[in-house]
Structure 1
Amino acid sequence: MGTTAYERVLSVAVAALHERDPEQLWPLLAADLPALCGGDALIYKLDNWNESEGTLGLSPGVTAEFTALGDEDMGLLRAGYPLAAHYASGPDRAPVTARRVAGRSWSQSRTAQLLDDLLDVDHVLGIPLPRSTTPVTGCMVYRSGRDFTDDELRLAEQLQPLLTAVEQQRQLLRRLDTPSQEAADVALTPRETTVLLLLGDALTALSIGRRLGISERTVHKHIANIYRKLGTHDRVSTVLHAQRLGLVPTASAARP
């Protein structure tokens, strides 16, 4: 990954990890990810890739094109041909393009023709979340002209840990209610909040690091900041105090 690309990825990662609204995390990624991968537009889908259900998230600037689509066309986009079937067939989660999976038949498919009419794009790059099983979740990046290169596929693979971290952050932040003013005054960062949530789940620093994709040392730094901001000195008193403030759910509501 070149210096410029690395700096852009780092900027996106920092912005995502400082976003407090979980529903803004993927839209934030969708705004920058296509350009990082050499694409023009993006669809992300965090639930089952099938034609009958699921919500599509779109990169900025393409929403209007989708508002007039009928159920059949929306079904084609939800189905994710041919990538959904490719990833569902085995454990491989490496980014790949529709043309490399389907060969020449890709350009003759109804999905390719729809995308050409809708967005004037010719090629699709699938970037699934590395740990997704069934359903496969992730995003697809679209571009016109030539297919995505090997270098762009390698870059997409390097971006997968960022997508995983953002999705993990989204799921954790969705467990929280709107904080009270007293809780807001504590001024925990979004990352500190997610570490605090996992402390409440009785995870060790090592397990928290593995869950969030960060080092154990970084976790301990976050924990030290949490203790300082809450005025506590150990895990149990920290979690109990955070529950009283409404920073994390109580034990009975901690896990959905």
Structure 2
Amino acid sequence: MRLDRAYERMTAVAVAALHERRPERLWPMLARALADVCGGEAVVHKPDDWSESEGTIGTVPDAAAAELARLDDTGLGLLRAGYPFALHYAAGADRTPVSAQRAAGRTWPDSPTARLLGETLDVDHVLGVPLPESTAPITGCLVYRAGTDFTDDHLTMAERAQPLLTAVERQRQLLLDWRRGLGPAGAPDQRAADCGLTPRETAVLLLLTDALTADAIGRRLGISVRTVHKHVENLYRKLGTRDRVGTVLRAQRLGLVPSPGPAGAGTRSS
């Protein structure tokens, strides 16, 4: 797949993901597209804090998930340890995607992790695609393939995809925090749907509630100030308001955002 076509496909999937109301579906959606455009056969995505002993590991396709489900604690520990990427990225601030073969050199094929992946997934190579802003632990995706190592084009495509992954991850975190702060599962989503709000507009509304400027909202979501203003205009129209303060008050009355006070304080991560 040519780089321009691959990027167009990844962008289209990212846009679709930003309209997905269920945060738990976002990473699987992106992971499938990332595997395709980067020449992979399976992807493990690690969206939460994780270590060798704990943390969420999501996998696509389902066949790969079934194979990894059979691993014992030792095998899962090796997978979570993320060799050789944890050591590679811990050495500095560089978050450029790299394959295990390039990061570890000749030691990779004979490593316990490579042997484990060969036995469980029948793959030989891994491509690390970290979220650019992740520090410790490093979060992101691992793309797997059999046969030859990932090419320079595959690495270029992975690097181009990083900002898209970051934008979707920021929205995922906002929507998860929003759900936790507004009661039973499904209730916030239904209220937003009843008002005709898209998930992206909901994310902008949450940041408006935090009194962020359009510039700050744009930086947080990875979008332009012009796009922020467009979302704000849509919020005004859909909620029947004319300014930010009125919009936030209206959203609070409708139960779309937490009301002021202890019950609604501190529900969103920075």
Normalising by the smaller structure, the TM-score range is: over 0.9
Q: What residue is the counterpart of 1:14 in the other structure?
A: 15
The 8 Å contact of residues 122 and 143 in structure 1, kept in 2 or not, is answered as yes
Q: What residue is the counterpart of 1:36 in the other structure?
A: 37
Q: What residue is the counterpart of 2:266 in the other structure?
A: 255
The Cα shift of 1:182 comes to: 5.3
Stretch deviating more after TM superposition (173-182 or 80-89): 173-182
Q: What residue is the counterpart of 1:226 in the other structure?
A: 235
Residue aligned with 1:174, SS: helix
Seen in structure 2, the aligned counterparts of structure 1 residues 108 and 165 have a Cα distance that, compared at 3 Å, is same
CA RMSD in angstroms comes to: 1.4
Residue aligned with 1:255, SS: coil
Deviations along 1:88-144, one digit per CA (max 9) or x if unpaired, are 221110001111111111000010001001111101100000011112111100011
The 8 Å contact of residues 126 and 142 in structure 2, kept in 1 or not, is answered as yes
The percentage of aligned residue pairs carrying the same residue is 65
Q: Given the alignment of the two structures, is residue 124 of structure 1 paired with residue 135 of structure 2, yes or no?
A: no
The Cα shift of 1:162 comes to: 0.6
TM-score with structure 1 length normalisation?
0.96
Unaligned runs of 5+ residues in structure 2 are 180-186
Residue aligned with 2:188, SS: coil
The Cα shift of 1:254 comes to: 4.5
Deviations along 1:152-182, one digit per CA (max 9) or x if unpaired, are 1111000000110111000011122322865
Q: What residue is the counterpart of 1:184 in the other structure?
A: 193
The amino acid of 1:102's aligned partner reads A
Stretch deviating more after TM superposition (4-13 or 124-133): 4-13
The Cα shift of 1:221 comes to: 0.4
Runs of 4+, deviation exceeding 4 Å: 180-183
Structure 2 CA distance, aligned partners of 1:182 and 1:38? 40
Seen in structure 2, the aligned counterparts of structure 1 residues 245 and 180 have a Cα distance that, compared at 3 Å, is farther
Q: What residue is the counterpart of 2:184 in the other structure?
A: none
Structure 1 CA distance, aligned partners of 2:251 and 2:50? 38
1:243 to 252, 258, 261: 252
Deviations along 1:214-254, one digit per CA (max 9) or x if unpaired, are 11001000000000000000111101110111111223325
The amino acid of 2:134's aligned partner reads S
The 8 Å contact of residues 97 and 159 in structure 2, kept in 1 or not, is answered as yes
The amino acid of 2:54's aligned partner reads E
TM-score with structure 2 length normalisation?
0.91
Between Structure 1 and Structure 2, how many residues are aligned?
256
Within a 5 Å distance, the mapping from 1:165-180 to structure 2 comes to 165-177=167-179, 178-179=187-188
Unaligned runs of 5+ residues in structure 1 are none
Q: What residue is the counterpart of 2:84 in the other structure?
A: 82
Seen in structure 2, the aligned counterparts of structure 1 residues 59 and 247 have a Cα distance that, compared at 3 Å, is same
The amino acid of 1:126's aligned partner reads G
Structure 1 CA distance, aligned partners of 2:15 and 2:37? 15
1:194 to 194, 200, 203: 203
The Cα shift of 1:3 comes to: 3.7
